[in-house]
Structure 1
Amino acid sequence: MSHDSHAEVEDRAVFRSMMEGTAEDWAIISRDYNAFASTLADRVLTHLRLLDGDFGGFPVDRLTHSLQCATRAHRDGRGETYVIMALLHDIGDTLGTYNHPEVAAAIVKPFVTEEEHWICQNHGAFQGYYYFHFLGMDRNMRDRFRDDPHYAACAEFCEKYDQSAFDPDYDTLPLSFFEPMLRRVMAKPLKRQPTSAVAA
């Protein structure tokens, strides 16, 4: 075995099952996890860019819609975590075709408030108010959440920022404008998550 190969092995845990793990193994894993977590914003931006050119029949592509939603929220004076939630609310479209709000909500959860997470997770039902009836569905599906304390906030998000963000003539801010904001928001979770030490 070459010296380089030996060094690579030393940089990895040696257990074959977690029951065999040692403090040294988990120190290695934790170190690598922290390094990986530090580049999360890069991966999120890369994935967000996959929405570029993906129209799905809409008047603007999904990236433009996301940027326009965030732009409207920003110009309305919303805070950074809210704006980033707005920016990422549809990032789940590519992998979560049938449950994109939940996918997006899982990504933003560590970095936004409880209300902002709730908005992201449930915006699909609220957005449906504007089109479900054209597809033979119940446009008032959102009313099942009527008694939730975040109902009004989610309805407002969809009315003011989401359903109105399909205007090809709107002065939408570019992704480069939001990138520093996204990096600030995703630099550190608002509160420690149960799985924040390592991802296994």
Structure 2
Amino acid sequence: MPDDPHKRATFRAMTEGTAEDWSIIAGEFMPFAAQLPDRVMAHLKLLEGDCGGFPIDRLEHSLQTATRAHRDGRDEEYVVMALLHDIGDTLGSYNHPDIAAAILKPFVSEQNHWIVAQHGIFQGYYFFHHLGLDRDMREQFRGHPHFEACAAFCEKYDQSAFDPDYDSAPLDFFEPMIRRVMAAPKRSVYAGVRGE
């Protein structure tokens, strides 16, 4: 349903904005933000059927990664991070970890954010050498407090989640977790602007 045109700000440039304008905008933001889990679920479904040459499609890989984390006893935030780690594949062909990290940043710990942001280069340990690249590119992060956590995520859950015979939980199983994790931000989206 389109929003009410009578409840719209009247400025043509932000320099003209008034407190009343921003009150209208703020009032519209919360209902829109509350629908984020619905948009995330819809976007995850876009990964279905897209194999990209892999043994399974991108949705199944995401489900398998999250299922493995869940069955290993990881908390909901971690499981949701595992589920969404490749959600950026459709729009960020060259930088998909950045997209997942941006979506998750307000809702996850610094460590889980760092894992999802860096998993691409860490995952490269398992295949970069087959493409003529340096599989040890992740070593540039050696000594970082979250290095081992990211390496463990890739080893235990991500690189092993391409099994066509694995019994992954369905997407609906994870929906309540997505809704709980994304119910309220844990931190400001502007946290770490200078380089978290």
- TM bin, normalised by shorter chain, reads over 0.9
Q: Which runs of 5+ in 2 are unaligned?
A: 192-196
User: Stretches of 4+ moved more than 3 A in 1?
Assistant: 192-195
Q: Is 1:150 aligned to 2:150, yes or no?
A: no
Q: Which residue of 1 aligns with 2:96?
A: 100
The two structures have a TM-score, normalised by structure 1, of: 0.92
CA-based RMSD of the aligned residues comes to 1.3
Matches of 2:153 and 2:147, distance apart in 1 = 10
Q: Which runs of 5+ in 1 are unaligned?
A: 1-6, 196-200
**Matched position secondary structure for 2:105:** helix
Deviations 1:29-63 (A, max 9, x none): 00111111010000011111100000000000000
Q: Is 1:71 aligned to 2:67, yes or no?
A: yes
**Aligned partner (choices 36, 39, 46) of residue 40 of structure 1:** 36
Q: How does 1:35-184 map to 2 (within 5 A)?
A: 35-184=31-180
Contact residue 66 and residue 83 of structure 2 kept, 8 A:
yes
Q: Which residue of 2 aligns with 1:4?
A: none
Say which one has the larger Rg. 1
Identical-pair percentage: 67
Letter in 1 for 2:91: L
Q: Which residue of 2 aligns with 1:185?
A: 181
Number of matched pairs: 189
The offset of 1:16, in angstroms, is 1.3
Matches of 1:182 and 1:8, distance apart in 2 = 29
Matches of 2:142 and 2:48, distance apart in 1 = 34
